[in-house]
A = this chain, B = another copy of it.
Amino acid sequence: MKKRVVILGSGNVATSIALALNDKCEMVQIYSRTLANAQELARKVGCQAISDLRNVAPDADVYIISVKDDAITSVVDAVPDNGALWLHTSGSTPIEVFREKRSRYGVLYPMQSFSKSHPARMSEVHIFIEGSDSKINHEINDIASLMTCNVHQATSAEREKLHIAAVFACNFANHMFTLSSEVLEEAGIPFDAMIPLIKTTVAKLDSMTPQESQTGPAARGDQKIIDKHLASLNGDKQKIYKLLSQSIMKRK
């Protein structure tokens, strides 16, 4: 029998999970504070959209909370415990957010950079899980395994490290691409010229550590070039160039 699932949230992670579970579970409701957002996702998976937590169906098997971290507690508090399995999907909120508020609970953290327009292939995503006890662990593992083979156990402390590591490797690396595109724009050069170089950088990770493969003025200790580059930058790009060059030089 298919598990009955309510998704509380309609953002990038909620969307990826709802789409990945859609065939394998019975989707019951999508909740969002903004009804239009709930409706957009509910249409895709063919279920009810709600925008009032008082209307959350009490009879589903699994409730997946996938909202901004600082809204998780208010969602938990607004809905009474019904004995079902309650999960959140956050890298950085500990499992304790449910303690004494739910009887069966845990975390299902898909480590990926999700975006609505590029829903990740969940089958390739690594999911890190943590349950309130070992029986719950198995239940969460069963749900995660519907989406991917890459399911791992991780404590809240390990999960936070993973999340921080992902912010560096993904969000911050991507911000370097944004800053690069701003510099090129000033010279009227399209960002496309940079993409082969970025792909080479990433391809090296298959056979070398990033520390081993580092190149450039800071890795060479070429202070003259660093100073020239700093002189032609300003604002936060200048501050970032300086701090990152120091950070690279410290590790050589």
The interface of chain A, by Cβ under 8 A from chain B, is 12, 68-70, 92, 111-115, 117-118, 120, 124-126, 157-158, 160-181, 183-184, 186-189, 191, 193-211, 213-220, 222-225, 228-229, 232-233, 236-237, 239-241, 243-244, 246-248, 250-251
Chain B residues within an 8 Å CB radius of A177: 168-169, 173, 205, 210
- The answer to whether B232 and A236 touch across the interface, beta carbons within 8 angstroms, is no
Which of chain B's residues have a CB closer than 8 A to the CB of A69? 217, 222, 224-225
Which one of B173, B189, B224, B251 contacts A70 once the chains associate, using CB atoms below 8 Å?
B224
Complex contact A12–B161 (CB within 8 A): no
Contact B205 A180 (CB under 8 A): no
Number of copies: 2
- Give chain A's interface secondary structure class: helix
A211 contacts which chain B residues (CB < 8 A)?
A: 178, 181
CB closest chain-B residue, reference A92: B225
CB pair B201 A199 closer than 8 Å = no
One of B170, B181, B219 near A197 (C-beta < 8 A): B170
A229 to B242, CA, bound (A): 22
Q: Of B118, B126, B219, B237, which one neighbours A204 at CB under 8 angstroms?
A: B118
| Interchain CB contact (< 8 A) of A240 among B195, B209, B237, B244 | B244
User: Assuming A178-B210, A213-B174, A222-B68, is B229 touching A167 (CB within 8 A)?
Assistant: yes
Residue of B70, B181, B193, B216 touching A209 (CB-CB under 8 A): B181
